[in-house]
Chain A
Amino acid sequence: MSADYGHDHHDDHHASPWGPHDWSHGAPHNSFAPLIMSAGFAMFLYGFANVFIGGEVADLGALSGVMLGLIIITMGLLVWWRQDMSADGIYEPKATGAPFRNIDIRKVSMWIFLMSEMMVFTSLFSTYIRYRLGIQNCGEVFLSGEWVEGTSVVCFEPAAHLIASSWFHLAPGAVNTFALIISSFTIVLALKTAKMSDKKYADKYEIDMERVRTHRSRKVAMFLGSTLFLATLFLTLKMIEWFIGFPTPGPLTDLNHGHSEIASLYSEGYTIHANSYQHYAYDTSYHDGHDIPHDSALYSMMQAGTHPGGVMMADIRVGASTFFVTTGTHGVHVLAGMIGLAYMTLKALRGGYGPSNAVSIEYFGLYWHFVDLVWVLVFPFFYLF
C-alpha cells in the first residue's frame, strides 16, 4: 500500500508502537498509548462509579478498580512520553493554509483547544451564576427571619462568606493566586532560556560554547521545576484549605480571635452533603455581641417577639457543589499541568530543549497561562465575594 515519493525516510520504518520514535519525518507513528489510555479512563470511571453511589461509599473494594484505572492511564502516558522524548523540533509541521501560514500546527491546535476549555469554564460559571442569583442567599434568609430553629432552609451559601470572613481563611487562596502568577512567569523564563541561540546564551552567561548545552538544560529544568513546585504548592494549599486546616500558633492566635487553628472547609461543615449547615453568623446569640442590623426584618421580628431567634440551619448543598466542582475542575487542570511539567522537567534535564524545539514550552505555556487566567476569575467569584 505504501507509495514511494522518492524520499528515503518515507520508507516504512515500522517504529515500535511502544516508542521511542524517529521524529525526523511526518506521520504515521504507530502508538499503543491511545488504546491504553482510553482503557484506563473507562476503568477509572467504572471503578469510581462503583465506589460511590448517591453520595455514600458503596464499595470500598472497587477502589482497586480506580487505582487500576489510574495505573493504566499512567502506563499509557509513559508510552506517549517515551515516544515524544526524542522529539527535537526538527520536524515541526507548519500550517500551509491562509490565514495561519507558517504557524506551527501545534500552536493552532493549542489555541483551538483553549477555545473548548473556555467553554468548559463558561458552563461552570453559568451554573454558578444561575444558582448564585436564583437561590436566595443564606445571609439574606437569616436576616429576613423566615426560618425557625431546627428546620433546615434551602439557601445559597457562597464559600466566600466563610473564606473571606478571616484573613487566615483567605490565606491559602491568596498565596495560591501569587503562586500561579509567579509560575506563569517562571514558565516564560524557561521558554526564554531554551529559545536563546547558542551564541547568545554563551555570551550572556559568559561560558564556552561547549558548555552551553549542559548549562542550558540545567537552567531550563530549574525554571520548569520551579513552575512544577509552584503548581504543587497550589494543590497542597488547596488540600489544606479543603480538608486539613492549619494551626495558628503564638502571636497568630491573638490575630485569629484567640483560636489556635484555622479549620478546613470540611471541618467547618462546608461540604457537598451539608443539608443542615450551621455557622456562627447565623446564630442570633452570636449576633447579640455583633448586633443584627436594625433595619433587618429579623431584628424587627425579634423586637416584636414574633421570632424566637436561635441558630439557623441551612441546606447549602448546591452552593457547596458549585464551589467544589468549579475550583475542583480548575484543580484538575493544574494537576494535568503538573503531569505535563513533570515530563518537561525530565526532558529538560536530559537536554531535550534547545532553540529548535523551545516552542513546546511556549505551547504548554499557553495552556498554563490559561489555567492561571481562569484562577484569576475563580478567585474573586468564589473566594472574595
Chain B
Amino acid sequence: MKQNTLLRTLVLLTVLGLALSMAPQADSLPNGIIGQSEKGCTCHGAIPDSGVAPSIEGLPATFNASTTYTLTISFTGGPSGQSGDPHNLGGFNLAVSSGILEAVDDTVKIDGDQATHNGIDDDIDGNGIQDSIEAGGAAIISGNDYTSWLVNWTSPSSGSSTFTLAVNSVNGDGQASANDAWNLMAITVAGPSSGAAAEELQSADPFVVLVTLIIVSGILLAAVILYTFYRVSPDGFNWESFAPWIIEWLTSTDHKKVGTLYFLAGFFFLGVGGIMAMLIRIQLAVPGNDFLTQDQYNMFFTMHGTTMIFLAAMPLINGFANWLIPLQIGAHDLALPRINAMSFWLQPFAALLIFTGVFSGQAADVGWTGYAPYIVSETAHTGTTLWAAGQIMLVASSTLTGINFLATICGMRAPGMGWMQMPLFTWSIFIANLMLFLSIPAWGVGLIQVYLDRTIGTAFYHVASGGDPLLWSHLFWYFGHPEVYVVIVPAFGVISEVLATSARRSVFGYRSMVYAMAGIGVVAFIVYGHHMFTSGMSPTLRFVTMLTTMLVAVPTGIKIFNWLKTMHKGSLVYRTHTLWALGFLVTFTLGGISGMFFPSLAMDTHLHETYFVVAHFHYVFVGGTVFGVFSAVYYWFPKMSGRMMDEKWGLLHFLTGFISFNGIFWPMHKLGVLGMARRHHTWFITTDDYANIPAEMASWNLFITVSAFLFFFSNFILVGNMIKTVVSGKKAPADPWGGWSFEWMCASPPPTPSFDPHNPPVLRDANEHIASEPSRLGQWFERLMMPEDDSEVNH
C-alpha cells in the first residue's frame, strides 16, 4: 500500500514535471504578430489622405445576374506625376465581396477576390527572383505607371456586392516616402433582389451560425422545460395544467425555484458563451484565418466575456446562493423574496438587451472592459448603447441581490449560529456580496455616464471636450477587480465544504479561512490599479497598487494550504465533486502563481494585454470558478433534485474536462510571452526577417483549438448526466455525503418553506463555548442598535 502510494506519487510528479517542462522557455526570440489588412492596400503613407479621390466607373446601379462589366478604376490628386516622371504614378487595390474579377490587360493582376496593379518588383511564381529580372532584365510592363486601370467584373447570380477600392498616389521616386498619399472608398451595388435570401444562406456567416445555434439552444431549452413539466406527473399529464405550472415558475418568489431559474439561465448562457468561444477558436486555429471578419471577432470576444462573467458565472453562483443560503443558515427563505425574484428577472431582460445587437449584426465590440473613449466613439457599434443598457440592469440586479443576501445572512441565522459558526459557503457568499455591493455602484454610474454619452450626448468621455478616459478605467476597475473576486470567492466556499466533507474532517483552520476571505475582501478594493500599470496612471498610484497586489497572495496561500491540511489524516472519499475540488486546487494554484507575475512591474510592461493574461484569468475563472461550480453541481445536485448523479459519467466528465482545459490554457502562457497580443482577430507567421512568432506557434494554436472543442463537448456529459439523473437517478438520502450543515438536515429535495419560521432548527456546537452568546463587541453593537425602549422610535 505504501509502496503503491509512492509509485503513484512519482508517476503524478513525472506528469506534472512534463507539464511544467512545457513552460514558456526563456530562450526563444519573439517578435509579435503582423496582420494583413482587409483593406488590401499596401499603400505608401500612414494615414488616408482626403486629397486623393478614388473612383470606379462602369458600375450599374443594380447589377444583373452573371453579367460581365468592365470597370475603370482611377484616381486624381496627391503627388502623382508632380515630378514630371511618367513612371511610378500610383497603384490601386480593389476588393469585391462577391463576383469574379478578371484582368483586361497586363497592368492589372488578380489575386482571388482582389485586383491590384502589376508591380515592377512582382514575383508571381514566388521563386524569390523578380519576374522582371527573370524576363531577361528588361522591365516588364508596370501597372505603376498609370493612374487608371481596367478590370472586368462578372457579377454573381444574386445578392449584393461591395467594392472596396484603395488607391495610392505616389511622387514617382520609386520608393515609399512621406508625401505619398492614399485613400479608400467603398461602394455597395445591389443585385437581383429575388435571390437575396438564397445568397445569405449560402455564405455560412458565423453570425448566422451563432444566431442559429442560440435559437436552437433556446428551442432545446423550451423542449427540456416542457419535458420536465411532463415528467412532473406523467400520469396526470394534461395541457390545462400547463399554464398554472408555468405561471408558478414565472411568478415564484420561493428561493429554491428562483435558484433553479438562475441555473437554467446560467447554464443556457454558459452554452452560448461557449459557442462564441468555439467560433473564436476556429478563427484563431490557423494563421491569417478569415473565418471571422475583424468586426465579427471583436463582437464575439466582447459578447463572450460579458456573457461568461455576467450571464453565466454570476447567475450560476446566484443559483447556488439562492438554493443554499437559507438552507445552510436555517432560514425559511431569503429576507426579501419578491426582491429576489426581481433580481432574477432583471437578468434575462438585460441579456435580451445585450444580445439585441447580435441579432442585428451590430453587437457591442468594445471588450468586456469597454474602455473609453472607444466605447463612446462613433466607430464602436450601435449595439454598444444597448450593451451598456443591459449592464445597467445587471447592476440593478446585483444591487438587489446584495441587499437580499447581506440582510439574510446578517439577520436570519438560526439560533446557535453565531458569525463564527456559519458554514464557509455562507461566509463566502457574504463576503462576495459585500464586495459586489460596495463596488458595483461605481461601475453603474460609469455605465450610466456612457449610456448618456451615447444617447443624449453628455460629454463625460468626450476627449475633445476635456473628458478623461482614465476616469472610466478607474470606475470600471474599482468594480472590475472586486468583481473577479466576487466570482472566485464563492468557489472557495464550495471547495471548503466539498473537501472537508469528502475527507471526513472539519475544515482545517476555520477561523483563518474566514479571516483570509475577509482579507481578500478588503484587499480587493485597493489593488485594482494593477490593471492600469501601463495606462498612463500616476506612477505613485501604480507603485501603491503593486505593493497591495502582491499582498493578495498571502490570504490566498493560506486558503490553499488550509485545504491541503484538511485532507491530512482524513479519509478522502473520491467522488466526482472531490475530483473537481482536487482539480480546482491544481488549476487555481497555477492560476494564482501566474497572477504573481503581473504586479512585478518590469514584467507587467511586457505581459500586459497578451495571451499570458488570457491564460492567467482563464485559469482562475474556469479553473477556479467553473471547476468550483462543477464541484458544487455534483455535490448539491442530489440535495436539489432528490436524486443521485451518475458517478461514472462524472468521472468521464472530470477526466476529459480537466485534461482538455489544461490543453487550452497552458500553452497560452507561452504564446503570450512570445508575443501574441490579446484581442487581435488574427495572427501571422511571417518570414524570418522579423524576429517573429516562431512557426511552432501555429501548432500550439491548432492544439488549443482542438482542446477547446474537447472541453466544450466534454461539458455535454454534465448536461446529459443532469438530465439522466432527473429522469432515472437513484433516490438521494438527506445526507448522502456526510456533511454537517443544516441543508443536510432537510429531506432531498427540501420542502417549502425550507424550515418552519416559527420553529427554526438550533445549531449545536461541538466546541465548548456557547455560540449563541454574542461576544462583548457584539453585545455592545446590539445595545447600540436596539433602543432601550423599543416601542419608541428615536429620531
Contacts and interface: CB of A to CB of B under 8 A. Distances in A.
B413 interface: yes
A368 interface: no
A35 interface: yes
A52 B455 contact: yes
A98 B393 contact: no
Contacts of A191: 793, 795
B417 A97 contact: yes
A123 B752 contact: no
Interface stretch (A110-118, A163-171, A173-181, A288-296): A110-118
B756 A5 contact: yes
A14 to B, nearest CB: 9
B312 to A, nearest CB: 19
Interface in B391-437: 392-393, 396, 399, 402-404, 406-407, 409-415, 417-419, 437
Contacts of A322: 460
Contacts of A318: 459-460, 462, 465-467
B251 A102 contact: no
A49 B451 contact: yes
A210 interface: no
A1 B751 contact: yes
A101 to B, nearest CB: 6
Interface in A88-141: 93, 95-103, 105-106, 108-109, 112-113, 115-117, 119-120, 122-124, 126-127, 130-131, 134-135
B253 interface: yes
Given A135-B466, A315-B465, A325-B452, 17 more contacts: A26-B332, A26-B757, A28-B333, A29-B337, A29-B338, A45-B386, A49-B451, A52-B456, A95-B410, A100-B782, A105-B411, A116-B399, A116-B403, A123-B445, A154-B465, A321-B460, A325-B458
From DSSP, what is the main secondary structure of chain A's interface residues? helix
B183 to A, nearest CB: 25
Interface stretch (B84-92, B345-353, B505-513, B654-662): B345-353
Contact of B786 (A48, A102, A154): A102
Size bracket of the B interface: 35 or more
Size bracket of the A interface: 35 or more
Contacts of A317: 458-459, 462, 465-466
16 contacts: A29-B253, A35-B345, A38-B345, A42-B352, A49-B389, A53-B382, A53-B385, A54-B455, A97-B410, A101-B782, A108-B407, A126-B474, A134-B468, A154-B464, A154-B466, A315-B464
A66 B406 CA distance: 34
Contacts of A41: 346, 349, 393, 396
Given A33-B338, A112-B403, A127-B471, A46 B790 contact: no
B564 interface: no
Nearest to B349: A42
A315 B467 CA distance: 11
A32 interface: yes
Nearest to B439: A119
A46 B386 contact: yes
Interface of B: 247-248, 250-254, 329, 332-338, 341-342, 344-346, 348-350, 352-353, 356, 378, 382, 385-386, 389-390, 392-393, 396, 399, 402-404, 406-407, 409-415, 417-419, 437-442, 444-446, 448-449, 451-452, 454-460, 462, 464-468, 471, 474-475, 747, 749, 751-753, 756-760, 774, 778-779, 781-782, 785-786, 790, 793, 795
Contacts of B779: 99
B751 A108 contact: no
B752 A3 contact: yes
Contacts of A123: 441-442, 444-446, 475
From DSSP, what is the main secondary structure of chain B's interface residues? helix
A48 B455 contact: yes
B449 A112 contact: no
Contact of B442 (A55, A98, A119, A275): A119
B418 A98 contact: yes
Residue of A5, A54, A97, A188 with most chain B CB atoms under a 10 A cut-off: A97
Contacts of A93: 335, 412, 757
A321 B442 contact: no
A357 interface: no
Given A1-B752, A28-B254, A116-B437, A105 B335 contact: yes
A39 interface: yes
B251 A31 contact: yes
A168 B759 CA distance: 63
Given A49-B389, A97-B411, A120 B444 contact: yes
A75 to B, nearest CB: 14
A10 B460 contact: no
7 nearest A-B pairs in the assembled complex, by CB-CB distance: A55-B457, A95-B411, A3-B751, A317-B459, A97-B413, A119-B441, A17-B251
Contacts of B346: 34, 38, 41
A52 B356 CA distance: 17
A214 interface: no
B466 A45 contact: no
A100 B335 CA distance: 13
B393 A45 contact: yes
Contact of A131 (B409, B466, B793): B466
B342 A49 contact: no
A322 B465 CA distance: 13
Contacts of A113: 399, 403
B751 A103 contact: no
Nearest to B337: A27
Contact of B402 (A98, A103, A116): A116
